[in-house]
């Protein structure tokens, strides 16, 4: 349902050309926010995606192709948002990648990439967004951590380290903004059926000789008591709640939406 809660505000969602970021961008557009999209993909498809969402919700949309592993490109993206929309009111640090391997086999370049994209990028966007948010005395920083920001899983050392780091960074950001109208919180999803997780399903199907459905069920049954995937729409609704006046004193939380994963 279209609402006006975020009319006049600008949201920048990193990694919003796919999956959870796209779901959250849609939910924020539905509330009337202008959106700066970011992420990789086919240029024509991306243009269609942000043009369509702008038309659907009657908001302004734009796109910047910054590689979130590169601080200079992040700086260019934040400067673009400032020039285009006068700054960022809602910052969603969502871009992320995964790689699955045992510690002793983990490619060092994959470790560096995961730390850069899943953790350090949030530091760069946040440090650049905070002065404008503090000046307006309103801002929402939403960091897409993971249930892996709360608990570990084998084979995911870099990801778990980055997500635990992101939860810690969220707490410090929340403390440093506690007496302002800026809040910082983390969302910790369990399995969401996006390309990032489908790759793990495919690997499992190949490894264990399962069909796609059986591999999905096997993945869920191991970790997620509900047996259901979390959806980008559900995560979008949680992001909208963090932006609402009711969430003004929700600060520094790591809020899991994980089908019961972390309750075990
Ligand atoms: P996805 O692969 O569907 O989307 C990732 C997005 O990040 C894409 O838009 C991609 O283009 C972008 N991206 C990747 N590398 C980038 C880079 N260097 N610079 C800019 N953009 C880049 O994945 P997703 O599942 O939607 O994941 C989104 C976030 O949610 C990630 O941080 C992920 O760790 C987190 N998460 C996902 C799940 C899940 O089950 N899918 C669970 C918990 C947390």
37 in ligand 1 pocket by Cβ < 6 Å? Answer: no
Q: Point out the ligand 1 atom lying closest to the alpha carbon of residue 148.
A: 43
Contact of 94 with 21, CB cutoff 8 Å: yes
Number of neighbouring beta carbons within 10 Å of residue 147: 24
- pLDDT band at residue 205 using 50, 70 and 90 as cut-offs: very high
pLDDT at 3: 83
The sign of the dihedral angle between the CA atoms of 225, 230, 235, 241 is: negative
Instruction: From residue 130, give the alpha-carbon distance in Å to each of 182, 195, 200.
Output: 8, 31, 36
To test ligand 1's pocket by mutation, which of 13, 37, 43, 96 has the most ligand atoms within 8 angstroms of CB?
A: 96
Residue 155 CA, ligand 1 centroid: distance in Å: 18
116 in ligand 1 pocket by Cβ < 6 Å? Answer: no
Which residue in 50, 63, 80, 159 is the catalytic one?
Answer: 159
Q: Where are the beta strands (DSSP E) in the chain?
A: 10-13, 34-38, 61-64, 90-93, 139-144, 182-189, 254-257
68 in ligand 1 pocket by Cβ < 6 Å? Answer: yes
Residue 179 CA, ligand 1 centroid: distance in Å: 31
165 in ligand 1 pocket by Cβ < 6 Å? Answer: no
pLDDT reading at 2 higher than 70: no
**pLDDT, tens digit, for every residue of 88-114?**
999 999 999 999 999 999 999 999 999
Burial of residue 62, with CB atoms counted within 10 A of its CB: 0-12 exposed, 13-18 middle, 19 or more buried: middle
**pLDDT, tens digit, for every residue of 12-46?**
999 999 999 999 999 999 999 999 999 999 999 99
pLDDT reading at 74 higher than 90: yes
Residue 159 annotated to the active site: yes
* CATH fold label, 10-192+230-263: Rossmann fold (3.40.50)
Residue nearest to atom 2 of ligand 1 (CA): 196
User: For the chain, what are the domain ranges?
Assistant: 10-192+230-263, 193-229
């Amino acid at each position: 349902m279209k609402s006006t809660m975020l009319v006049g505000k600008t949201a920048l969602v990193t990694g919003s050309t796919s999956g959870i970021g796209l779901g959250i961008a849609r939910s924020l557009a539905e509330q009337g926010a202008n959106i700066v999209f970011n992420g990789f993909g086919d240029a024509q498809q991306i243009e269609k995606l942000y043009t369509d969402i702008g038309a659907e919700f009657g908001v302004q949309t734009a796109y910047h192709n910054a590689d979130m592993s590169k601080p200079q490109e992040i700086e260019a993206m934040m400067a673009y948002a400032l020039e285009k929309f006068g700054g960022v009111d809602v910052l969603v640090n969502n871009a992320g990648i995964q790689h699955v391997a045992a510690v002793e086999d983990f490619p060092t370049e994959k470790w560096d990439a995961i730390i850069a994209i899943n953790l350090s990028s949030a530091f760069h966007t946040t440090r650049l967004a905070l002065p404008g948010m503090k000046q307006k005395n309103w801002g929402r920083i939403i960091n897409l951590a993971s249930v892996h920001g709360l608990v570990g899983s084998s084979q995911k050392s870099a990801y778990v380290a980055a997500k635990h780091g992101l939860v810690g960074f969220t707490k410090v950001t929340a403390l440093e903004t506690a007496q302002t109208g800026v809040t910082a919180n983390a969302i910790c999803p369990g399995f969401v059926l996006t390309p990032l997780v489908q790759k793990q399903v495919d690997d499992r199907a190949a490894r264990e000789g399962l069909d796609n459905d059986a591999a999905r069920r096997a993945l869920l049954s191991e970790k997620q008591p509900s047996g259901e995937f979390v959806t980008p729409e559900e995560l979008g609704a949680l992001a909208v709640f963090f932006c609402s006046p009711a969430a003004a004193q929700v600060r520094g939380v790591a809020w899991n939406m994980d089908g019961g994963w972390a309750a075990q």
